[in-house]
Structure 1
Amino acid sequence: MTTLAEFETLCGKVRNWGRWGADDQRGTLNLIDRASLRRGLAAVETGEALSLSMPLQLKGPQDGSGIPGRINPVRTMLGINTPMGPDPAAAYSDDIVVMPLQAATHWDALSHVSWRGRMYHDVAADAVSVAGAARLAIDTFGPVVTRGILLDVARLEGADRLPGGFEVTAAHLDACARDAGIEVRPGDIALVRTGHIQLFHAGDIHGYHTPTPGLGIDTAAWFHEHGVAAAATDTIAFELLPARCPELVLPLHVLCLVMMGMPQGQNFDFEELSRACAADGRYTFLFEATPLPFRCGTGGPINPVAVR
């Protein structure tokens, strides 16, 4: 268990406020540069492209037990084979979607979480209003393309799927990188596999929600020390749930988003990628995960792609 005092100390150790200038809104995404992109390109050998996204559908991960108001995407037809003019030979079909920006596979924007009235870079929490996020919104991310690394903790543990409540520690991340022969470099994006998404695939949506395996508090320092640009998991919470910090529900959200300015992703699907990496022993790849640029959005849906 982590006490509130210990948590506060860790906040000070990983805080990046002011690191990239007074006007910074991108946080650790600033670590992605041409060198990290070239590392991603150099990791491509076969040209195999794998989507890491959940499908956007009504039978999604939102079962009403998480954040109030979050629903699965609702798609409705606006037109079905509707003639475009007097001649019915040419017709169109159109549809509309209503969905939370964090419904399925997504990045959290740095405006998604605040701590004691402040967001990343000491931005006041009231920068988020009914109009959305005036600062630190998802559209400030820009293109997200760099080297991705798969840290397959489930495979490290000899498990197909980690059990709910399993805490992924910094030691696990070190062991995964070592076993895969990866030198983690600034600007890399870390994808941490637990196998937990298998519950979602099996239709156990409630079991997918809680308890979940996930990243423990000490991984914040690991991400900070290695210069990781962003991190994502195959769980709905990103971090261990329930957390081992009695005073906080999601302490790693505060450490990553507020203190470090490090984007975090949830509901990624690493199952196909895990099998491919295990088959040939290559755990690095070109990774593209640019969110849809919703102005003032506190999150952004994505279809992340790993190119091997």
Structure 2
Amino acid sequence: MSLPAEFHEVAERVNNWGRWGPDDEIGTLNLITDEVVREAATCVRSGLRVPLALPLRQDGVQTGVIPGRVNPLHVMVQINQEVFGPGTVACSDDAVTMGLQAGTHWDALSHVSHSGRLYNGRPAGTVTPHGGAAFGGIDKPRHIVSRGVLLDVARALGRERLDGGHAVTPEDLDAAEEFAGTRVRAGDIVLVRTGQIRSYLAGDRHAYGYPSPGLSVRTPEWFHARDVAAVANDTLTFEIFPPEIEDLWLAVHALDLVEMGMPQGQNWNLEELSTACGEVGRHSFLLSAMPEPFTGGTGTPVAPVAIL
């Protein structure tokens, strides 16, 4: 089944293929220039550091809805072992098996395809079983540090958390931008708070996953108009789930990653940040969210930190 005409109409309006050259593999991260980072550094006033990652643990956010996304399976491979002989320093080492997108993570541009294509028109077949992503992998971005802006949609609409059927619209983003008292600008990383992760933090993993509030298929045009570098939120699926348009699954993923070349993140814990921003009266900050450079990876765990 082909994607509907309304999808292709939006895709044409947000398409960035060729904007940074035919060989580009990092898309909108090109918008994070040295000047943008210098400006972002001026957001640091108190030095308060707010972690945004969920703990990586076996009873994590994944519930089996997405096949293969295994929560971290942690094992000890040696415990207090004197590796270099009796009487030497003893070591404890461990190993983990997990889906790279199991917890707080970034999606690489190669994470989804549509119509047989990845970002910049590359063939979807460049993702292979043994090598992973030959193009647009998560190892390609070398910097994800910029000004972060928290768009606290839930609190802007007078709620602690949005309900599971709420599709975040451009109008919601406008309201959150006004609530934040700042305008999103080129090179920013936007964090959209729905409050949905409160379900997981309260111990209800299944209520966190489905149904889920998330971004509407109309939001990519909002981000494109502002030249946003990357977007992350506090939900399992990033976009509204089930989809707002019947049978149009992962449409926002395809528009963001494939058409626009804009990385997106999921399962970010924005609760402490929301409180901190409210206390200091500012919703912009220096954000460090460097990806783990897994060669060929289509996503990666990330431990972002907002510095106010």
Indicate whether the TM-score tops 0.5.
Answer: yes
1:39 CA drift (Å):
2.0
The answer (yes or no) to whether the contact 1:28–1:260 under 8 Å persists in 2 is: yes
The answer (yes or no) to whether the contact 1:190–1:232 under 8 Å persists in 2 is: yes
1:246 CA drift (Å):
1.6
Is it true that 1:50 corresponds to 2:35 in the alignment? no
1:40 CA drift (Å):
1.4
Match of 2:214 in 1: 214
Q: Which stretch has the larger CA shift, 260-269 or 198-207?
A: 198-207
Is it true that 1:291 corresponds to 2:291 in the alignment? yes
Match of 2:278 in 1: 278
TM-score, normalising length: structure 1:
0.97
Match of 1:112 in 2: 111
1:205 CA drift (Å):
1.1
Match of 1:10 in 2: 10
1:70 CA drift (Å):
1.2
Match of 1:181 in 2: 181
Is it true that 1:303 corresponds to 2:285 in the alignment? no
The answer (yes or no) to whether the contact 1:138–1:298 under 8 Å persists in 2 is: yes
In structure 1, C-alpha distance between the alignment counterparts of 2:304 and 2:259, rounded to whole Å: 25
Structure 1 residues 95-152: Cα deviation after superposition (integer angstroms, max 9, x where no partner):
0011111010000000000001001000000000012001110000111100000000
In structure 2, C-alpha distance between the alignment counterparts of 1:156 and 1:217, rounded to whole Å: 20
Structure 1 residues 2-61: Cα deviation after superposition (integer angstroms, max 9, x where no partner):
x92211100000000000001100000000011211221111110011110011110101
Q: Which stretch has the larger CA shift, 124-133 or 174-183?
A: 174-183
1:86 CA drift (Å):
3.0
Match of 2:102 in 1: 103
Match of 1:81 in 2: 80
In structure 1, C-alpha distance between the alignment counterparts of 2:263 and 2:134, rounded to whole Å: 17
The answer (yes or no) to whether the contact 2:167–2:244 under 8 Å persists in 1 is: no
Structure 1 residues 182-220: Cα deviation after superposition (integer angstroms, max 9, x where no partner):
121100000000010011111211111111111111110
1:93 CA drift (Å):
0.3
In structure 2, C-alpha distance between the alignment counterparts of 1:215 and 1:195, rounded to whole Å: 13
Structure 2: runs of 5+ lacking an equivalent: none
Which AA in structure 2 matches 1:114?
Answer: S
In structure 2, C-alpha distance between the alignment counterparts of 1:117 and 1:142, rounded to whole Å: 27
1:89 CA drift (Å):
5.0
Alignment of 1:101-140 (within 5 A): 101-130=100-129, 131-140=131-140
Structure 1 residues 250-302: Cα deviation after superposition (integer angstroms, max 9, x where no partner):
11001000000000000000000000001121000000101100000000110
Classify the secondary structure of the residue corresponding to 1:139.
Answer: coil
In structure 2, C-alpha distance between the alignment counterparts of 1:259 and 1:230, rounded to whole Å: 13
Q: Which stretch has the larger CA shift, 132-141 or 175-184?
A: 175-184
Classify the secondary structure of the residue corresponding to 2:139.
Answer: helix
In structure 2, C-alpha distance between the alignment counterparts of 1:88 and 1:64, rounded to whole Å: 46
Structure 1: runs of 5+ lacking an equivalent: none
In structure 1, C-alpha distance between the alignment counterparts of 2:139 and 2:84, rounded to whole Å: 37
In structure 2, C-alpha distance between the alignment counterparts of 1:69 and 1:238, rounded to whole Å: 18
Which AA in structure 2 matches 1:259?
Answer: E
Which AA in structure 2 matches 1:295?
Answer: T
Classify the secondary structure of the residue corresponding to 1:257.
Answer: helix
Q: Root-mean-square deviation (CA), in Å?
A: 1.1
Classify the secondary structure of the residue corresponding to 2:79.
Answer: strand
The answer (yes or no) to whether the contact 1:168–1:213 under 8 Å persists in 2 is: yes
Alignment of 1:159-178 (within 5 A): 159-178=159-178
The answer (yes or no) to whether the contact 2:157–2:175 under 8 Å persists in 1 is: no
Classify the secondary structure of the residue corresponding to 1:190.
Answer: strand
Which AA in structure 1 matches 2:22?
Answer: A
Q: Which stretch has the larger CA shift, 23-32 or 237-246?
A: 237-246
Is it true that 1:259 corresponds to 2:259 in the alignment? yes
The answer (yes or no) to whether the contact 1:4–1:247 under 8 Å persists in 2 is: no
In structure 2, C-alpha distance between the alignment counterparts of 1:89 and 1:118, rounded to whole Å: 55
In structure 2, C-alpha distance between the alignment counterparts of 1:125 and 1:87, rounded to whole Å: 53
Match of 2:71 in 1: 72
In structure 2, C-alpha distance between the alignment counterparts of 1:85 and 1:168, rounded to whole Å: 57
Classify the secondary structure of the residue corresponding to 1:94.
Answer: strand
Which AA in structure 1 matches 2:175?
Answer: A
